[in-house]
Amino acid sequence: MRVLVDVSAVPEQPVGAGVYIINLVGALDARAEVELELLARAGDRGRWRQVAPHSRVHARVPEARPLRLAWEQALAPRLARSLGVEVWHGPHYTLPLRYEGPKVVTIHDMTFFEHPEFHERAKVTFFQRMIREAARRASVLVAVSDDTARRVERILAPSVPVVVAPHGVDRSRYRPAADEATVEADMAALEAVGVRPPFLAFVGTLEPRKNIPGLVAAFSRVSRKHKDLHLVIAGREGWGAREVNAAIARSGLADRIHLLGYAEADLLPVLYRRAAAVVYPSHAEGFGLPALEALACGAPLVTSTGTPMAEVAGDAAVLVSPGDDTALADAVEWVLTDEGLAAGLREAGPRVAGRYSWGVCARAHIEAYQLAIGGPG
Amino acid sequence: MNQGNDHAVPAGTRVGLHVGQLLQRIPGGIGRYVGILHDGLRRRGVDVISFAAGAAPAGLGAVGPSASSPSAPDTEGYVDLGWPRGGLRYELWHRLRRPALPIEVDLVHAPSLAVPPPGGAPLVVTVHDLAFLRLPQYFTIRGLRFHERGLELARSEAAVVVAPSEFVAGELVAEGFEAARVHVAHHGIDDPGKRSATEVDAVLRRLGVERPFMLFVGTLEPRKGLDTLVEGHRILHRARHEVSLALVGARGWGRLPRLDRPGVVQLGNVPDDDLDALYRAATALAYPSEYEGFGLPALEAMVRGCPVVTSSATSLPEVVGSAGRLVDPSDPEQLATVLTEILDDADLRAILAKAGRARARNFTWDASVNAHLAAYAAAVARVS
């Protein structure tokens, strides 16, 4: 099966959707039944060569976003035809609308419709239109969680199948510390970024949807009792990061809050493993990959009810209604003081995370591709 | 995970396949896998030399289009290793790595964690699950030591490890196996064809099972979620006296809930034909297992249009996808609720039956044999 995956939306410092695309492509590349053609940004060839050594990389897409999206619509279909691809996969909301072959598109979340306030206005208009059109023209839709699938069904009422393909986690990297050597290496890695336990960890881009001001408020409540506790925030500044900085300034705890910026992949498992708790209080997510990564590392997790994170974690996390800062502080306090609870969560997390892998994710995509082509099934 | 790229196994490769599982008191799902793999490889013209310590097991069925009688055991190409037999031989294999195999082969495949010394040949080991690491409380000390030692041998000696699901592959990677060494080969399922209602009814009468009933299939042992199953049925049975629970499977070991209770029918092991009828007649398969490496009963049910209610843990979501209903394996209330929904809603039953049949078509033994051949090819290539 010859599949074209448009990987041109993956930024240099991937999070969430970008991590999904890289790992999906890597897992598909290893499968004998799939021949991959990757459509990448010009200048991004090296990375994809490494991610997918058995695939062909077409590094032809312009760098700048408006040009990139225009190129996808105008020129990409001809390239796909000339390569003889059987199915086109747009892994990040968009498709070349005029491409007439079988098409699969991944929808990550429906917040462009449900929570436009969490996005830049220009993006909202574009993505709302694009998602509607893509859903209308795609042969099959991929949703990254049951939660997203339900929202897609409700808002777009698509006439084509919706295949759920949950994200995975690489458990060779995201795992509990098994031995003394790992613990020592972890401590050295933390030392290098100026962090010392005990700390709470948050991983994610600094943007309104992530509810970081709520996290800072909760931290400032628990920090009164836990004088040596720090808060580590790992993520690049998105739009609206100013509010985060203002919240930190207001808290008067700037000396105990570490803004690490974008954390390289090697540092993430260390943060999850060594955190007293990972707190991920997002208002809305399509999947919420940091929550799964934290569970795989055996971190006690506090996250939001009514989100895909709650679905993934089940009983392996403490759930809090997003926006309720007092409840968030109470939940964190509970994890910090109830050793039995924390130990139970540390034990349950890896077990729950075990059913998610990029291999399972790739298999679900192959089913979606077959469905789109009209093959067996 | 590595799926191998489409190299073929070099022509003339002789594969030594350990079939000792078929001589076990309860061959179980692994026994079925070994028999089908053996037959499938032979059908592809692979030169298979099967071996175990004992007389040729009956489970090695007809092989190849040339076999004249499909039910006669094929003893050609089978080597009886002789004494010592059974557990003692496995102890010697695992502790001393001898006695050596008296066969000349280019590759040795251990389809379970009884790992023979491969001599100089590349070794392939199938790891069906890591339940012994994750739920050690459900194993005897002896069983634990045996599996741990087998896994260590797989880690230190196997050129390639085969896992029956992405879930188990992930478990292996989490235990430090390099992803490139782990191949996934899903189990498959054959199209069972059609069967008349009269035939199905006759089987039910003979077994003393009355509709409507929920079906459980699997060795009766603690990790299969029997506590949840029996309690879930008790809740259901309180409101719906007519619904029984039929348990198929040999009694394994360990502490089990009381099974002699109202509405519970214990059938023990049943012949394949009877099991086929039970799947066709059951309202649903109730399979709330805590840990599976694959979960063949779920697939056997889906292919026959029997709605599947199984647990949201381990490999089971990967097998049933969205074609079944997933429940928390520790929550009997939820199990009872979902079973009641299926019982009361004919439309839902029809939707699940259709989705299950469609999903089951994704799992063929042909594809499984292909994946094994790719694993063999990779093993030969890694070593040579």
> Is residue B70 scored above 50 in pLDDT?
no
Q: Which helix (H) or strand (E) holds A17?
A: helix A17-29
User: Both tokens of residue B149?
Assistant: 């030692």
Edge-to-edge strand list for the sheet holding B182-184: B78-80, B47-52, B14-18, B107-110, B123-126, B160-163, B182-184
Whether the CB-CB separation of B19 and B354 falls below 8 Å is answered with no
Buried b (16+ CB within 10 A) or exposed e, B302-337: bbbbbbbbbbbbbbbbbbbbbbbbbbbbebbebbbe
pLDDT averaged over every residue in chain B: 90
Please tell me if residue A173 touches chain B, with a CB cutoff of 8 Å: no
Tokens 């080969």 sit at which residue? B185
Average pLDDT over residues B69-92: 74
Give me the pLDDT at residue A334, please.
97
> Is residue B74 scored above 60 in pLDDT?
no
- Say what angle helices A358-373 and B166-174 make with each other, to 10 degrees: 160
- For residue B143, give the DSSP letter: H
Give me the pLDDT at residue B62, please.
44
Give me the pLDDT at residue A375, please.
53
> Is residue B38 scored above 50 in pLDDT?
yes
Phi, psi of B211 (to 5 degrees): -75, 155
Give me the pLDDT at residue B5, please.
42
CB contact under 8 A, A357 and B170: yes
Q: Work out the minimum CA distance from B172 to partner chain A, whole angstroms.
A: 9
Task: Please spell the DSSP secondary structure of B267-303, one letter per residue.
Answer: EES--HHHHHHHHHH-SEEEE--S--SS-HHHHHHHH
Give me the pLDDT at residue B68, please.
39
In this complex, the residue of B166, B322, B328 whose CB is nearest that of residue A360 is B166
> Is residue B279 scored above 90 in pLDDT?
yes
Instruction: With beta carbons under 8 A apart, name residues in chain A contacting B184.
Output: 359
Give me the pLDDT at residue A374, please.
87
Distance CA B132, CA B146 (A): 10
Mutation site for B-interface testing, chosen from A352, A360, A363 by largest number of B Cβ within 10 Å: A360
The domains of chain A, with CATH numbers, are 2-168+357-373 (3.40.50.2000), 180-353 (3.40.50.2000)
Give me the pLDDT at residue B75, please.
60
Report chain B residues touching chain A, CB-CB < 8 A: 1-6, 134, 166-167, 169-171, 173-174, 176, 178-179, 184, 312-315, 317-318, 321-322, 328, 358, 361-362, 374
The domains of chain B, with CATH numbers, are 14-188+364-383 (3.40.50.2000), 197-360 (3.40.50.2000)
Distance CA B109, CA B149 (A): 17
- pLDDT of B227-270, one tens digit each? 999 999 999 999 999 999 999 998 887 788 999 899 999 999 99
Rg (CA), chain B: 21
Mutation site for A-interface testing, chosen from B3, B129, B361 by largest number of A Cβ within 10 Å: B3
In this prediction, what percent of chain B has a pLDDT beyond 90?
Answer: 69
Could you read off the pLDDT tens digit of each residue along chain A, which spans 377 residues?
999 999 999 999 999 999 999 999 999 998 888 999 999 999 999 999 999 999 999 999 998 888 988 898 899 999 999 999 999 999 999 999 889 999 999 999 999 999 999 999 889 999 999 999 999 999 999 999 999 999 999 999 999 999 999 999 999 999 998 789 999 999 999 999 999 999 999 999 999 999 999 999 999 999 999 999 999 999 999 988 889 999 999 999 999 999 999 999 899 999 999 999 999 999 999 999 999 999 999 999 999 999 999 999 989 999 999 999 999 999 999 999 999 999 999 999 999 999 899 999 999 999 999 999 985 43
Distance CA A353, CA B171 (A): 10
Asked which of A43-47, B134-138, B200-204 is least confident by mean pLDDT, the reply is B134-138
Give me the pLDDT at residue B93, please.
93
CB contact under 8 A, B1 and A30: yes
